[in-house]
């Protein structure tokens, strides 16, 4: 064994002994300590110290640092999360280096795919819907009470996971043209899944209408235990409020209030409305910009005050919701959740499918970030906005879910990721 590896072994051993001693010393305290508001700060301090320790290459300094580490463990007691619900919110804000270098702006993304239950911003909404219903006495655990929802996938996955944790059942109605991974995942979470033909909102069997009907049927049925609760993500107050009290304040805190614009797509509109309402209350000059895929009526609503053009009018097109491979954003009606923040939206940027596909691939090639379609749309729009605003601005957007949810559909359209030398340039992506 070389002198060099012997040294690292000794260091690792010393670190192990110190960690074990500190852990034993504080185990009981940790067991009885409630999660406190400083928990995350302590955790971050510990992570910093550990990474510092790994870089030390003389023994005296290493020993001194171990004492510091032990003290930080003491302070960090209480960082244990209360169930999977405790892993929702407080997501990291990440600077996308490639897009920031290209634009001369800070392009910051809130990593909402790191929410711990269903791995999307819908965790916040699902938890908020369930907690609100529990407060009103509308849900009783282990009674057979079942939550019904119409969703393109993400909200269903979050609801199904949290329902399991809280003793409820979940029944999800979704369009049958959404990526199969999402319904597979729902089934693995023990939800009942109905994949239905895409249809306009005027159709009683449209996925949202069907979920409402199923909830009513459950409540009326003498054969089914418990009651049916329609989650109603498009219209419920719980949706935008989850972002008003969570996502918005987190962005404000993580940027120290220093941001020029927030960019987001809208599915229900809960995210853009909730964040806009919070940020504009603190920063009246912040720009709120909608990122919209093809076929959605929201772009026209924001830019010109009219919801539909003849091509996009709901009920006249064969394929409802919108004509795009992007999932989760774009809609052809003004939902309550969009309406709540509608007047605060300053501008809209249209992003086509090719741009979204190329951006998703770009993010993997250059930044090692593997995301789904709505996240890619957000990043195209944020980069376009940065080019318009000019260097020196700071723009925040969201990474909603992982590319793993989109392998069979959106990601199927990408070229194999082979190396940065193969990609389309950002200029081309933005101009496509």
Ligand X SMILES: Cc1ncc(COP(=O)(O)O)c(C=O)c1O
Which residue ranges make up the site for ligand X (CB under 6 A)? 120, 152, 154-155, 265-271, 328-329, 372, 374, 400-401
Nearer of residues 18 and 290 to ligand X, judged by Cβ: 290
* Residue 202 CB, nearest approach to ligand X (Å): 21
How many Å apart are CA 403 and CA 394, to the nearest integer?
Answer: 25
Nearer of residues 77 and 351 to ligand X, judged by Cβ: 351
Nearer of residues 11 and 270 to ligand X, judged by Cβ: 270
Nearer of residues 106 and 112 to ligand X, judged by Cβ: 112
* Residue 382 CB, nearest approach to ligand X (Å): 14
- Element spanning 289, H or E: strand 287-292
Two structure tokens written together for 87: 């892993």
Nearer of residues 198 and 267 to ligand X, judged by Cβ: 267
Residue 209 burial (CB count, 10 A): 18
* Residue 217 CB, nearest approach to ligand X (Å): 24
* Residue 17 CB, nearest approach to ligand X (Å): 46
How many Å apart are CA 236 and CA 227, to the nearest integer?
Answer: 19
How many Å apart are CA 240 and CA 226, to the nearest integer?
Answer: 28
* Residue 85 CB, nearest approach to ligand X (Å): 19
Nearer of residues 146 and 373 to ligand X, judged by Cβ: 373
Residue 79 burial (CB count, 10 A): 19
How many Å apart are CA 310 and CA 161, to the nearest integer?
Answer: 40
How many Å apart are CA 12 and CA 417, to the nearest integer?
Answer: 37
Could you give the residue ranges of the DSSP H alpha helices within 95-191?
Answer: 97-103, 122-135, 154-166, 180-188
Two structure tokens written together for 399: 């990474």
Q: Which residue minimizes CB distance to ligand X?
A: 328
* Residue 267 CB, nearest approach to ligand X (Å): 3
Residue 419 burial (CB count, 10 A): 8
């Amino acid at each position: 064994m070389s002198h060099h590896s012997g040294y690292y072994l000794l260091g690792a051993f010393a670190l192990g002994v110190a960690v074990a001693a500190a852990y034993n010393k504080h185990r009981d305290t940790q067991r009885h300590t409630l999660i406190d508001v400083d928990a995350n700060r302590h955790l971050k301090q510990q992570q910093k110290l550990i990474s510092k320790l790994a870089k030390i290459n003389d023994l005296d300094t290493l020993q001194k640092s171990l004492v510091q580490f032990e003290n930080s463990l003491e302070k960090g007691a209480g960082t244990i999360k209360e169930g999977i619900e405790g892993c929702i919110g407080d997501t990291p804000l990440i600077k996308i280096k490639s897009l920031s270098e290209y634009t001369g702006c800070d392009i910051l993304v809130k990593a909402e795919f790191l929410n711990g239950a269903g791995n999307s911003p819908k965790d916040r909404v699902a938890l908020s819907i369930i907690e609100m219903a529990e407060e009103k006495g509308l849900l009783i655990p282990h009674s057979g009470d079942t939550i019904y929802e119409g969703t393109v996938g993400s909200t269903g996955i979050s609801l199904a996971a949290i329902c399991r944790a809280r003793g409820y059942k979940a029944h999800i109605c979704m369009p049958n043209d959404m990526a199969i991974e999402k319904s597979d995942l729902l089934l693995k979470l023990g939800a009942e899944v109905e994949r239905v033909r895409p249809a306009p909102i005027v159709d009683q069997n449209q996925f949202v209408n069907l979920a409402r009907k199923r909830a009513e049927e459950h409540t009326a049925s003498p054969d089914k235990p418990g009651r049916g609760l329609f989650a109603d993500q498009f219209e419920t107050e719980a949706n935008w409020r989850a972002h008003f009290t969570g996502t918005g304040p987190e962005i404000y805190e993580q940027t120290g209030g220093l941001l020029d614009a927030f960019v987001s797509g809208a599915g229900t509109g809960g995210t853009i409305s909730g964040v806009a309402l919070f940020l504009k209350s603190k920063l009246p000059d912040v720009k709120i910009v909608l990122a919209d895929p093809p076929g959605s009526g929201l772009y026209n609503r924001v830019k010109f005050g009219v919801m539909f053009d003849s091509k996009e009018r709901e009920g006249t097109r064969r394929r409802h919701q919108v004509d795009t491979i992007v999932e989760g954003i774009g809609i052809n009606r003004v939902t309550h959740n969009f309406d709540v923040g509608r007047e605060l939206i300053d501008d809209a940027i249209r992003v086509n499918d090719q741009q979204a596909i190329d951006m998703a691939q770009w993010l993997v090639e250059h930044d090692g970030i593997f995301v789904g379609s709505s996240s890619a749309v957000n990043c195209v729009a944020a980069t376009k906005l940065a080019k318009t605003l000019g260097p020196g601005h700071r723009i925040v957007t969201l990474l909603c879910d992982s590319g793993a949810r989109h392998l069979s559909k959106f990601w199927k359209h990408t070229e194999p990721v082979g190396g940065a030398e193969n990609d389309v340039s950002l200029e081309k992506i933005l101009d496509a």
